[in-house]
Amino acid sequence: MVRIILFLLLIALGAAGAAWIAEQTGDVVLSWGGYRAQTTLPVFMLALGIVIVAAMMLWATLRGLWRTPQRIRRNRRERRQARGRHAITQGLLAIGHGDSTAARIHADAARKHAAHDPLALLLHAQSAQLDGDREGAQRAFRAMAEREDTRLLGLRGLFIEAQRADDPVAAVMLAEEALKLSPSSSWASHAVLGFCCAKGDWGGALKILDNNQSAGLIDKATYRRQRGVLLTARALELEKVDRDLARESVMEAVKLAPTLVPAAVLASKFESEAHQVRRSMRLVETAWLAQPHPDLADAYAHVKLGDSARQRLVRVETLAAKVPGHIEGALAIARAAIDASEFTKAREALAPFIAQPTQRVALLMAEIERTEHGDSGRARAWTLRAVRALHDPAWTADGYVSDRWRPVSPVTGRLDAFQWQTPVAALPSDKASTIESSPFEEAMLATPRRAVVIAPPEAVDEQPAEPAAPVTPETPAAPAAQDNVPPPAAVAEVPPAEAPRPEAATILPTPEAAPPKPAEPVPSQPAPLFRSRQDIPKTVPASIPAVIPLIRAPDDPGIDEDGPADEFAEQLAPPKAQAGGWRGFLSRWGGS
């Protein structure tokens, strides 16, 4: 709209100027040598305007002709750049959806039309990586590293290729060079930090962590936590070498990360050795409220050197009461109660977790049975149950389970990666039950319900042979014994208030022969003493019905066990084929 108004104003001004010139009177005389030209003023102004316009058009034409080669070269260059950018765009899209052939074709076109474009180098390197051509990718990344504008990107690519080739030395060298060029590079600082932690250079790791915090790569809370982890790692390494530096490091670490379990345990140990009992207890209690851990319970129990087992038990009960119902508190109480020979308290502490015990719960129950009653059978049953029990929490990082805390994950090199949790592989599945108790364990852990009297061998030998009674559906026979089961001893069960059977009278020993042995408790179900046979398939149900043998009368002809005759089964050989040709025709003609 503004342009239209300006155009109309210019036209109006031009028209007004032309009208003003036309209204002017007078003549214009031009004398040059022997020539003389005379005209009016309006005609002269019109001729002057035509001359100026013609001169401008001539100048424009000459200038256009002069610049035509340069314009042709520029247009050609622009077309090549447009083709190169189009090839780069299509190549990156092909890499995005995994088409290696199209990516390679577009990379060649981009290198042909836009060889100096950094995106063309990047496309060539990524297409080579997609094809698995490591040498081509390394050449492209080296070319990028030699340029000023793509040096950092080339170093990153070479770093990745060194990691793929399992060359940590070259990878760390590239990361250090990139860190010198750009201190705010997160991948370079992470790589160098992981390398320093891997070789135990905690001082260098602390410097890199300080640089990351000053460069704004991590926030303040993360910086405090990671610095506490590094200081704890240095203190654990120098605990037996330089105790002063170890104490200084761990005290700073526990201030920065008070919930870090290894820092709290080591700081409590140093404070306990310095007879600072209350301060040591406060450190453990702070970490315990955030994450109960067996190392914390052990440090809290031994916070006073020289205490008795009962004093340690009272102290552990106080610590467990701060987080009621937690399994770590129950395990700590059970451990201290066993040491103090308070087996009743140990059983009460583990009672809520016996239904689905973990491995540590089962092992503690086995120790209780062995120590309190000397019952090796029940102890063995609990030990076998611990094999299939739920796993206890452990130090886990990126799927790696460690028996101790580590500052860095050995899988990814991530700092502060280990967490006290149940391993992923030990989590229960919805396909099968986690704990499957065997009949042996149920028999060993069952409460005795009845008593039996075992007859002496002399009475068994003197027992007359009884005829086999027929088995009826009302009195099912006992299940058949396996071939690998030894013959059982003669056992006479004490019947309830019923009429005595004559057979039992012959089995029970007399007072003159031998005094009866006192009743011994046995489980309600017989316990298997041998392993299950391998020839029995696993799909057999748990309860196998007893096999009832059939007893026939002497005059019973029995049942035909061969089964009904089958006319198709009786045919042993295929029927003879009919003869063909004239012989077959004559046989059919004669038969008809």
pLDDT at position 232:
94
Phi, then psi, of 92 in degrees rounded to 5: -65, -40
- The fraction of the chain above a pLDDT of 70, given in percent, is 72
pLDDT at position 510:
40
Give residue 442's pLDDT band: very low, low, confident or very high (50, 70, 90): low
Higher pLDDT, 571 or 585: 585
> Per mean pLDDT, which range of 358-372, 495-509, 578-592 is the poorest?
495-509
Mean pLDDT for the stretch of residues 38-54: 83
Query: Do 120 and 109 meet the contact criterion of CB atoms below 8 Å apart?
Result: no
pLDDT at position 393:
92
What does DSSP assign to residue 424? G
Asked if pLDDT for residue 433 goes beyond 80, the answer is no
Task: From 440, 442, 437, 447, select the one nearest 522 (Cα to Cα).
Answer: 447
Q: Does the reported pTM lie above 0.75?
A: no
Phi, then psi, of 6 in degrees rounded to 5: -65, -40
Pairwise CA distance, residues 100 & 272, whole Å: 65
Query: Do 71 and 89 meet the contact criterion of CB atoms below 8 Å apart?
Result: no
pLDDT at position 437:
54
Mean pLDDT for the stretch of residues 62-66: 89
Residues 197-229 have pLDDT tens digits of 888 889 889 999 998 888 888 899 999 999 999
> Per mean pLDDT, which range of 178-192, 230-244, 478-492 is the poorest?
478-492
Asked if pLDDT for residue 420 goes beyond 50, the answer is yes
Mean pLDDT for the stretch of residues 437-456: 50
Asked if pLDDT for residue 544 goes beyond 50, the answer is no
295-310 burial string, b = 16+ CB within 10 Å, else e?
Answer: bbbbbbbbbeeeeeee
Asked if pLDDT for residue 383 goes beyond 60, the answer is yes
Mean pLDDT for the stretch of residues 259-268: 94
3-state helix, strand, coil in the chain (%, to 5): 55, 5, 35
Pairwise CA distance, residues 532 & 19, whole Å: 124
Count CB atoms within 10 A of the CB of residue 390: 19
Mean pLDDT for the stretch of residues 353-381: 91
Q: Which residues contact 100 (CB under 8 A, 6 or more apart)?
A: 94, 127, 130, 131
Pairing mode, strands 450-454 and 520-522 = antiparallel
* DSSP conformation letters of 204-224: HHHHHHHHHHHTTSS-HHHHH
Asked if pLDDT for residue 181 goes beyond 90, the answer is no
pLDDT at position 339:
92
Higher pLDDT, 191 or 497: 191
Query: Do 1 and 8 meet the contact criterion of CB atoms below 8 Å apart?
Result: no
Task: From 270, 226, 227, 213, select the one nearest 246 (Cα to Cα).
Answer: 270
Higher pLDDT, 485 or 228: 228
pLDDT at position 590:
56
Asked if pLDDT for residue 485 goes beyond 80, the answer is no
Give residue 91's pLDDT band: very low, low, confident or very high (50, 70, 90): confident
> Per mean pLDDT, which range of 158-167, 274-283, 363-372 is the poorest?
158-167
Q: Which residues contact 354 (CB under 8 A, 6 or more apart)?
A: 361, 365
pLDDT at position 279:
94
Give residue 570's pLDDT band: very low, low, confident or very high (50, 70, 90): very low
pLDDT at position 474:
41
> Per mean pLDDT, which range of 140-154, 274-288, 334-348, 465-479 is the poorest?
465-479
Virtual torsion, Cα 121, 126, 130, 131, nearest 10 deg: 20
Mean pLDDT for the stretch of residues 254-282: 93
pLDDT at position 514:
44
What does DSSP assign to residue 521? E
Give residue 295's pLDDT band: very low, low, confident or very high (50, 70, 90): very high
Taken in order 248, 252, 255, 257, the sign of the CA dihedral is negative
Pairwise CA distance, residues 206 & 195, whole Å: 12
Higher pLDDT, 549 or 200: 200
Asked if pLDDT for residue 470 goes beyond 60, the answer is no
Asked if pLDDT for residue 296 goes beyond 60, the answer is yes
Give residue 394's pLDDT band: very low, low, confident or very high (50, 70, 90): very high
- In terms of C-beta density within 10 A (0-12 exposed, 13-18 middle, 19 or more buried), how is residue 246 classed? buried
> Per mean pLDDT, which range of 247-251, 354-358, 473-477 is the poorest?
473-477
pLDDT at position 280:
93
pLDDT at position 230:
94
Higher pLDDT, 242 or 511: 242
Asked if pLDDT for residue 422 goes beyond 80, the answer is yes
pLDDT at position 591:
52
Query: What is the average pLDDT value for the chain, to the nearest integer?
Result: 77
Site of tokens 């007359």:
464
